[in-house]
Amino acid sequence: MAAGLTEAEVGDVGVPVIAGLGMAQPPGAAQDELWTGFFEKHFSGTTRALAERIFANSGVTRRQAAVNPLLEDVSEWPTERRMRRYQVEALPLGKEAVSRALTAAGLDAGDIGLFVVCSCTGYATPGLDILLARDLGMAPDTQRMFVGHMGCYAALPGLGAAGDFVTARQRPALLLCAELTSLHIQPAGTRVDTQQIVSHALFSDAAVAAVVVPGGRGYAVREVTSVTDTSTADHMTWDVTDSGFRMGLSPKVPKVLSRFVGDLVDGLLARHGCDRSGVDGWAVHPGGPRILTVVERELALPPTALAASRETLAEHGNCSSPTVLLILDRLARTPSPPRRVVMLAFGPGLTLYAALLERTG
């Protein structure tokens, strides 16, 4: 038997395992406070009544913002100013999340062989990957990968890349998802734009890091898989404009998800000799309440299966790419952590990503 491993862990020697998670979030505000203190005035006329209903039915009770609209209105800022602020705010959040993940995994920054950074809300060169590698003391030969503009599902291809590196090189990898959606509040405008209202009602800021190592205790990454329906590419967009990044979000998204999510999940599970009944943990990206309702219905899940996803949406909003990792952390911290977890996230493409995790140790 390998030294320091139990019998249950020997079969997972060398398999990529999430050994540590670390979270960092800016200060938060209640959804009601955000509405009465800013957005009620941001929207006008018939738009205001519609926006009030959307905010009230968003499933969000509290959100976090590095640039809080109650204190600072960025809606008229040009994109350049928003990008400069992104670097100022994202760097300390990323450093905090990475440091916590490394501590949880019992590693130093110098142990990391691959550093993957996912973000679709800000760009600069040198980027977060270089600046954090410098500030945290990563080795000069640490490889880096930046994943941009994949949106809400980016954590899963990022996790897949980290897992593949660990399998091939037998060295630790680090994934960081950092998003500052608060920088992209759009100008008020004069016409009803339901997509922007929904975006402003849901999105939030967060940074979450995950350390992936070869074998040991944690959640083994068994597989990451996806499906993309390119005929619906216009259903979810994230356009760079002179006034920040602008969300396009079609009401048809839940219908597309309903066509693909069942086969995606069942195929993933079948390849590992199990089915839905063998899954006791579901980390489903809460793109909004309707998304969770559709997934719950199409997978015939019990009412409590998506509790962690709904609680994360309520307490943190939709944080884009870090959100599924926030949900995984919530599941892992329960008194009886799930043994087998399916992670699901959705985004531009229209793309569905899934991952199967199994607890070791």
Q: Output 103-107 pairs: Cβ under 8 A, ≥24 positions apart.
A: 103/20, 103/22, 104/19, 104/20, 104/21, 104/22, 104/211, 105/19, 105/20, 105/172, 105/211, 105/213, 106/19, 106/20, 107/19, 107/20, 107/172, 107/211, 107/213
φ/ψ of 152, rounded to 5, equals: -65, -20
Tokens of 49: 């009544």
148, 204 in Cβ contact below 8 A? no
The verdict on whether 152 is a catalytic residue reads yes
Alpha-carbon span 63 to 73, nearest angstrom: 16
Dihedral (C-alpha) 192, 197, 199, 202: value to the nearest 10 degrees? -170
The set of residues, in sequence order, having a beta carbon less than 8 Å from that of 133 and lying 6+ positions away, is 109, 115, 142, 144
102, 20 in Cβ contact below 8 A? yes
Amino acid identity, position 164: D
Residue (of 136, 130, 208, 153) closest to 175 by Cα position: 208
Out of 118, 120, 152, 319, the active site residue is 152
Residue (of 176, 179, 178, 180) closest to 209 by Cα position: 176
Residue (of 202, 313, 200, 299) closest to 257 by Cα position: 299
Alpha-carbon span 278 to 295, nearest angstrom: 17
Please provide the DSSP assignment of 18-86 as one string: EEEEEEE---EEEHHHHIIIIIHHHS-HHHHHHHHHHHHTSS-SEEE-SS-TTT---TT--HHHHHHHH
Residues tagged active-site: 152
